[in-house]
Amino acid sequence: MTGNVMDLLLDVPDLSLVFAATLGVVLVCKLIHSSLQYTRWREDYDLLPGSRDTHWFWGHMHLYPGPNEKGLAFQRLRTQQYPLFHRIWISFFRCVLICHHPKSVKFILKSSEPKSTEVGTSYVLGKSWLGDGLLLANGKRWARNRRLLTPAFHFDILQPYMTVYNEISDVLQLKVEDCCKKGQSFELFNYIGMASLDNILRCAFSYKSDCQVLGDSHPYVKAVNKLSDLWVARSLNIFHFSDFVYFLSGNGRQFKRYSDYVHSVAEEIIKKRQQTLEIEGLPTQTNGRKSRYLDFLDILLTAKDENNIGMTPLEIRNEVDTFLFEGHDTTTSAMCWTLYSLAQHPEWQQKIQAEVDSVLEGRDSDNIEWGDLGKLEKLTLCIKEGLRLHSPVSFIQRTTTQPFEVEGYRIPVGTSLAIQIYNLHHNPDVWDEPMEFRPERFLPENTAGRDFYAFVPFSAGPRNCIGQHFAMNEQKVTLARLLRRFTFELDPDHAVSKKIGIVMRSENGIKVFAKPRNL
């Protein structure tokens, strides 16, 4: 009996050989399937508008001049050549549809299509920094967290922030005044950036820092700027798409080091607030006044869904990281570029100054109040035109989960879509003289009939920016207070050129002179 069993076992092939053969068959089948799918995709994508000048390995990547003024000129040229959209190949394996017309942008933003998660897409490359916060999250997680956080941006929450905006503007004005006295120019991204960081820390997190004193030496700002540059550099290097490869590289190690630092800042803010909530609870009425205002972090830490479940510690940190970054870097870019344009157009500075003077007439202080925001009409026109002309957030990414048709073109399932906001805002089929600063574009009589999706600085549809009213209010107060006290001129000895990043920045900053007004 024993011998018969041994004979049977000896007749069975080596199991490792069976496993290897099976694995080989599976891999071959997958390869064949991928090849057939790639061939079908290639056939579909070749029917779409786009340059035929492709490299067998790089695709269209070798044609892009870089994230600079030449790159922006390249984008404007492609927009002129292909007004609706065009396809580009990222190496040989991924096609991306670049959309820059209301007709192509609309069908994406009106839908709930998810953020892109394919290998090498910009959103994926930023995950280790921002995690699954509202900027990058998808599906049920995004919908739940968006629902939980929406109350944090109700006007009842935003209104008390006006006091903070004005207090921070007081410090900013003193710094600008000091430069006036010395006859020195100063760099806008430094001064405005610190004020904006101070605003988000104090408004959203009730966290006081000395960032306006430290200026551009503040380690958090340095870390965010470096992370943004590394993120963009990685998106242009196909060999760094893999996390395994990237985090072995020098850039990858830097990215991790800076990510760890910004995470530690977020965790410190969260820990301090948790301790405050344990001792004091949420803000309550005391003698008719709240002990402090309810802020974003209070809501973040105490929000519960329909199942009475709050956010996990990681979800909380992801949202804090996201709002620290988005809440200061994007508004910094918007205000700096708007002031840059106003320094080039003194006639609009004068119009805004006259408007602010009229709003504040008869008051003892220059503070902008909640009821003043709607009266700053000319300033609002200039902010909107600054957002169009300079596009602080230059792109949005999505992936199709169903087939679409745009102007007779069929868009396959699984297509990577990049809404190039900068291209859209400079599309000559949509905007007259798109490179010119013309705030009157946004007068009611000039916006009548314009497609709603022609101007989307805060995105649009179900995934629009949750903090857009916060950002607009901060810009109005900061810029109104500055223009009330000073007139700005560009430093003629300093050249300004754009640098494309996660937000639009300048290669070497923007230097201006400020002259005090005689009030």
CA distance 118 to 124: 7
pLDDT, one tens digit per residue, over 419-435 is 999 999 999 999 999 99
CB 411 within 8 A of CB 404: yes
CA distance 519 to 357: 9
**Average per-residue pLDDT in the chain?**
88
- For residue 264, the number of C-alpha atoms closer than 13 Å in the C-beta half-sphere is 9
SS3 state at 403: coil
pLDDT of 285 over the 90 cut: no
Say how many residues make up the chain: 519
Per-residue pLDDT, 118: 61
CA angle 299, 301, 306 (to 5 degrees): 75
pLDDT of 6 over the 80 cut: no
CA angle 273, 277, 278 (to 5 degrees): 115
Task: Give me the helix-helix angle, 346-360 and 313-344, nearest 10°.
Answer: 110
Per-residue pLDDT, 35: 58
For residue 110, name the pLDDT band (cuts at 50, 70, 90).
confident
CB 160 within 8 A of CB 202: no
pLDDT: is 214 or 202 the higher one? 202
Q: Residues 366-384: what's their mean pLDDT?
A: 97
Torsion from C-alpha of 118, 121, 124, 126, nearest 10 degrees: 180
CA distance 156 to 192: 26
CA distance 197 to 324: 8
* DSSP code at position 14: P
Q: Name residues whose C-beta falls within 8 Å of residue 281's C-beta, 6 or more positions apart in sequence.
A: none
Q: Sort 34 into a burial class: Cβ within 10 Å, 0-12 / 13-18 / 19+.
A: exposed
Per-residue pLDDT, 290: 52
Q: pTM of the prediction?
A: 0.88
For residue 107, name the pLDDT band (cuts at 50, 70, 90).
confident
pLDDT: is 477 or 275 the higher one? 477
pLDDT of 9 over the 80 cut: no
Tokens of 430: 């949509």
- Helix, strand and coil content of the chain, in percent to the nearest 5, comes to 60, 10, 30
Per-residue pLDDT, 399: 86
Q: Residues 305-323: what's their mean pLDDT?
A: 90
* DSSP code at position 467: T
CA distance 162 to 473: 8
Closest CA relative to residue 298, chosen from 326, 321, 269, 259:
269
The edge-to-edge listing of strands for the beta sheet with 416-420 is: 85-90, 94-99, 416-420, 395-399
Per-residue pLDDT, 286: 42
Q: Sort 161 into a burial class: Cβ within 10 Å, 0-12 / 13-18 / 19+.
A: buried
For residue 10, name the pLDDT band (cuts at 50, 70, 90).
very low
Per-residue pLDDT, 406: 87
What are the residues facing 291 on neighbouring strands? none
Range name among 68-77, 206-215, 363-372, 398-407 with the lowest pLDDT average: 206-215
pLDDT of 288 over the 50 cut: no
14 CA to centre of own chain: 56
Per-residue pLDDT, 8: 44
SS3 state at 490: strand
Q: Residues 37-56: what's their mean pLDDT?
A: 82
Q: Which fold has domain 37-516?
A: Cytochrome p450 (1.10.630)
Residue positions forming the annotated binding site: 465
CB 355 within 8 A of CB 495: no
Range name among 20-24, 204-208, 487-491 with the lowest pLDDT average: 20-24
CB 378 within 8 A of CB 372: no
pLDDT, one tens digit per residue, over 327-363 is 888 999 999 999 999 999 999 999 999 999 999 999 9
* DSSP code at position 462: G
Q: Residues 98-116: what's their mean pLDDT?
A: 85
Per-residue pLDDT, 459: 92
Query: What is the percent of the chain with per-residue pLDDT over 90, rounded to a whole number?
Result: 55
Tokens of 229: 């540059």
pLDDT, one tens digit per residue, over 215-239 is 666 788 888 889 989 998 998 898 9
Amino acid making up residue 449 = G
Tokens of 443: 């007068």
Residue positions forming the annotated binding site for heme: 465
- For residue 274, the number of C-alpha atoms closer than 13 Å in the C-beta half-sphere is 10
CB 293 within 8 A of CB 283: yes
Annotated domain spans of the chain: 37-516
Per-residue pLDDT, 287: 38
Range name among 65-74, 120-129, 353-362, 373-382 with the lowest pLDDT average: 120-129
Q: Residues 475-484: what's their mean pLDDT?
A: 98
